[in-house]
Structure 1
Amino acid sequence: MSKNRIVAMYIRLSNEDTDISTNDTKFESNSVSNQRDLLMDFISHHEDLADCNILEFCDDGYSGTNFHRPAVQSLLSKVRQREIDCIVVKDFSRLGRSYLELGDYLEQVFPFLGVRFISVNDGYDSARDKGMTAGLDIGLKNLIYDLYSKDLSQKVKIAKRAKMKKGEYIGSFAPYGYLKSKNKKNTIVVDKEAAVIVKRIYKLVVQGNNISTIAKMLNGEGVPSPARHFQNNHDNKKWRKAKGNLLWNSMAILKILRDETYTGKTVNHKREIPNVNSRSTRAVPREEWIVVPNTHEAIISEDLYIQTQKIIGQVKKRKERIFDTTRVIYGKVKCGICKKSLQRSHTKVIYYLCRSNYYDENCSCFKGRIKEQLIIEILLETIRKQAQIANKSEELILQIKQKSENEILELLQSIRKAQQYIERLNALKIEEYEKYLDGNITKDDYLKQKEKYNGEIEETTFQISKVETEYELQKLKNKESENQFVEHFKNKHEIKELSRELVNELVDSIYVYSENEIEIVWNFRDDYSRVVEVMQGSDEM
């Protein structure tokens, strides 16, 4: 490989990598630094890799049961853009433990895109296979990794359930008002600064203050909300990414008022992951929660908690309504500043407003009210204009697709002709050999002719591989030419009214900055960009 080639080292440290010492150090063989040293040493001792440019992709603390990891997604994105020539990993399980998904990449994606894949500890190098699949032994290893993940997940669940029943706190973060103990694992201690606010909230409720008033009061005094408090006190990527005003609001107050943790109880198993490959959790029924009393210092008394529950239980709950299908843009309309959903009024003339202003008078969010009908009219007109673009570009997209299909057909014919030529050359080699056996030509003449035909076969095989690569690229381009923007927007230039289904189909979000400034974020944005490029290219011709 030349100096301008790119070698990608992929490193992953899993959440399952267990601790083996009292100071929380990880297994040395699985540490990020050791993986890096192993891969760098491997690359430096291979002449075809040593002079290449090296990029590192690292996921620290991510499961390998799926490919939803930041660094691996960045790596695969560069692979698709043909910016990576070789990938080197410690072993297959570092890249992934799902044998089906990993198998697709090893046997389909990487070979198709011409990416060499090396797994150091597994002794696997795709360059040695000459384009063939990884083989049964590799598939078997990936299957074992996948089964291992499922078995490990079940064991982890059992271990966590045992800790829950003992009253140990196993959450990633302590609830507002507490800190995770530095001296005793799986224990929380009182955060004196935040505990004062918790006590005050309960006291204000008992004194007759409603929840919204309490939130507004705390914001007015500049008291950091739970989100802001965690962001200020935790150097963690989750809290560093938190954006927006991070104000106190009704939900933040209610969360504190409904949490039994403040009475000295450890409450676990509120949510659970359905299966090892799931990316989401589901709520567990209240009767299945694991609640253990007297596990840590209480911030409020049991009596005060019960008294508070009676008060907030008296707040009238909104009657459950069958969803009104006429609310066609509900949930899509958001504040352009804080990005939170705007509140929809229940008045005769319906409007939207940002509630952040209610909780913070100094908030820079949209302070006015915008009529729902105005947003609908703007959206309707804009959809018609987008539909006109889709209609206009449809013919151009079809022409490009037809051209691509013609090129694919020509490439396929070239491959078949070349394969037929190789078959003819092999037949000629046999004829020359038969002439030699019959004594019609000398051995030297036979060897010369054989060498000539072998050279032509080798050159033709090389040309076939180049054409096959171009053939696969054209197939990919042809597939990408299927434009979702055009498919979803075409023939909608004469629509008279909106429906909830249509808005969900076409619109991602509607951001309101003022009554005169609205931003519509569409679905299929990437496909729309390709349509614009096609139309610009057509205008330049």
Structure 2
Amino acid sequence: MSSSIGLYIRLSSEDSKVGSMSIENQKRALHQYVDARDWAAGMEVLEFVDNGYSGASFERPAVQELLGMVQEGKIGCIIVKDFTRFGRNSIEVGYFMEMVFPLYGVRFISINDDFDSAQLHGDTGGINVAFKYLISEFYSRDLSVKYKSAKYAKFRRGEYQSRICPYGYQKGADGRMEPDPETAETVRFLFSMAATGRSTTDIIKVLFDRRVPTPGEYKASRGQCYHDISRTHGIWQRSAILNILHDERYTGTYIIGKRQRVEIGSNHVRMKDEREWIKIPDHHPAIISKELFSQVQAAIRHVKSEKKKVAQYPLKGKVFCGCCFHGLQRIGKKGYRFACTHSQVNESAPCHGLAISEQDLENLLLKILSKQAQAILNLPDLSHTRRLDVEIAKQTEYGGQIEEYLDQKRLLYERFLLKQISLEDYTSQKATVDRELERLRELHTALKVRTSQIQIDAKTQSARTKLAQEVVETGKLTAELVDSLIDKVYIYPGNRVEILWNMQDFCLGEF
């Protein structure tokens, strides 16, 4: 049996509200259990943690890694805080306890359930374990349902509130939202400008001229570093303004339950239908009137253009400003160009007015790619196939020698059992064989590493050559080529261009 112990820890989104179920508490309980057992002394202890995953299925990364190591014979004992940490589906958990773990000789321990498969002498607990598991499973599900019910009841009574207030509000002494004197006036100003039909570009310009910090900068100044403000430079984003103008909470209506996770354990969320939102009128003091909010929504809808077909072009999402690091906007009607619109309100910025013709940039990149492609195609054949054949032949030879020495080792043991050689001779000859085996295994391992590297080099060279041939044959810049070769293109004043490559050894340098 393996000398490694696997500690399995799981926390779902519902469990996270129960302190005793926290990752830290589970780890502490499991390690205390191991430290108190003499039989665990000297054994390697590994942790497997699934944070935010439901126990309803075994499609969890850490539990899959644990089970994989069980199949490889690397885990001899699994310890959990209780059965439901391993899984909530009693049938699937029973399959592992009844069939899989006994097959691989794995000991299974559930601390809270006082279960240790080593004490059952081949049995798996039978009806007692099943009964305990079903009670635990029922309790956990009942707890989850009650928690959700209580949470949504608080939503509807207006007692629940997010820890983070929207821009323009702060937490009052009673824990409820109240207008923030420093930012509430900015919110009123945004709504008043939007109501008169001013564009977001106009609003951004006025905010910059007035040196009004962006929401992220304001929160960072108060120690709330939720956002990366390294690229803001005091300039508001259009999306930030529109988010504020669309937020009904500024009328005193609290809205909750707008999003839900796509699946347990995923960070992806989806927006619910507005009919499913929970809206609580007069929940907190309003910053603007409902009439002004409605007026702004009408004004935004009036200026909102019809949906246009999304443009597709080779350098989409690839071109960035080398000064402020914001993406350059593709603007124009016939002759398109990439321009830095982020700094258009700041005339002193080094990238103010920065722009480059799309055609000029595509021609430059194609020229660079074509030149490098020809250089790659003219490289001599490095004969990876021949080198690989030689290394594999050596590897096979060493493998054969290892098998021969293993046979010698087995033969020595048989001769010792048959009393054909003394213990002293057996020990001496076995030590000689073991030393040679160790030497051969080291050489065999080194050859395997070299062989793997040759295979990687061969694949890299093949992929590079294939792309080079595609560049030459196509003769133009395509989205497929750009995605394969280019990560980002930075544009600097004076039309200096810096390219970050996806395939690092395809091309290097600035142009």
Could you tell me whether the CA contact under 8 Å between 1:87 and 1:117 is conserved in 2?
no
Could you tell me whether the CA contact under 8 Å between 1:354 and 1:366 is conserved in 2?
yes
Count of aligned residue pairs for this structure pair: 444
Matches within 5 A, 1:62-461: 91-93=47-49, 101-102=61-62, 136-137=106-107, 161=152, 163-167=154-158, 171=162, 173-181=164-172, 183-184=174-175, 187-236=176-225, 238-239=226-227, 242-321=230-309, 323-325=310-312, 327-392=313-378, 395-396=381-382, 399=384, 402-404=386-388, 406-431=390-415, 433-434=417-418, 436=419, 445-461=421-437
**How far apart in 2 are the matches of 1:245 and 1:181?**
30
Among 470, 478, 483, the residue aligned to 2:460: 483
**How far apart in 2 are the matches of 1:405 and 1:161?**
67
**How far apart in 1 are the matches of 2:283 and 2:180?**
16
Letter in 1 for 2:486: V
Could you tell me whether the CA contact under 8 Å between 1:225 and 1:246 is conserved in 2?
yes
**How far apart in 1 are the matches of 2:438 and 2:365?**
55
Q: Which stretches in structure 2 are left out of the alignment for 5+ residues?
A: 1-8, 82-102, 112-132
Task: Report the counterpart of residue 115 of structure 2 in structure 1.
Answer: none
SS in 1 for 2:182: helix
SS in 2 for 1:509: strand
**How far apart in 1 are the matches of 2:332 and 2:270?**
31
**Structure 1 pair 240/351, CA: closer, same or farther in 2 (3 Å)?**
closer
**TM-align CA RMSD:** 4.8
1:296 deviates by: 1.5
Q: Which stretches in structure 1 are left out of the alignment for 5+ residues?
A: 1-10, 21-25, 50-85, 123-132, 533-541
Could you tell me whether the CA contact under 8 Å between 1:107 and 1:134 is conserved in 2?
no
Per-residue Cα deviation, 1:299-346 (whole angstroms, up to 9, x for no partner):
11111111111112110414422x444x22233222122222222223
Overall identity of the aligned pairs, in %: 25
**Structure 1 pair 28/154, CA: closer, same or farther in 2 (3 Å)?**
closer
**Structure 1 pair 190/324, CA: closer, same or farther in 2 (3 Å)?**
closer
**How far apart in 2 are the matches of 1:392 and 1:108?**
46
SS in 1 for 2:183: helix
Letter in 2 for 1:174: C
Higher alpha-carbon deviation: 512-521 or 371-380: 512-521
**How far apart in 2 are the matches of 1:168 and 1:478?**
64
1:491 deviates by: 1.0
Task: Report the counterpart of residue 95 of structure 2 in structure 1.
Answer: none
**Structure 1 pair 233/15, CA: closer, same or farther in 2 (3 Å)?**
farther
**How far apart in 2 are the matches of 1:138 and 1:99?**
20
**How far apart in 1 are the matches of 2:142 and 2:485?**
42
Letter in 2 for 1:289: W
1:293 deviates by: 1.9
Task: Report the counterpart of residue 484 of structure 2 in structure 1.
Answer: 505
**Structure 1 pair 182/288, CA: closer, same or farther in 2 (3 Å)?**
same
**How far apart in 2 are the matches of 1:316 and 1:240?**
29
**Structure 1 pair 30/342, CA: closer, same or farther in 2 (3 Å)?**
closer
Higher alpha-carbon deviation: 303-312 or 404-413: 404-413
SS in 2 for 1:359: coil
**How far apart in 2 are the matches of 1:140 and 1:282?**
37
**How far apart in 1 are the matches of 2:108 and 2:449?**
27
Could you tell me whether the CA contact under 8 Å between 1:354 and 1:367 is conserved in 2?
yes
With normalisation by structure 1, the TM-score equals 0.67
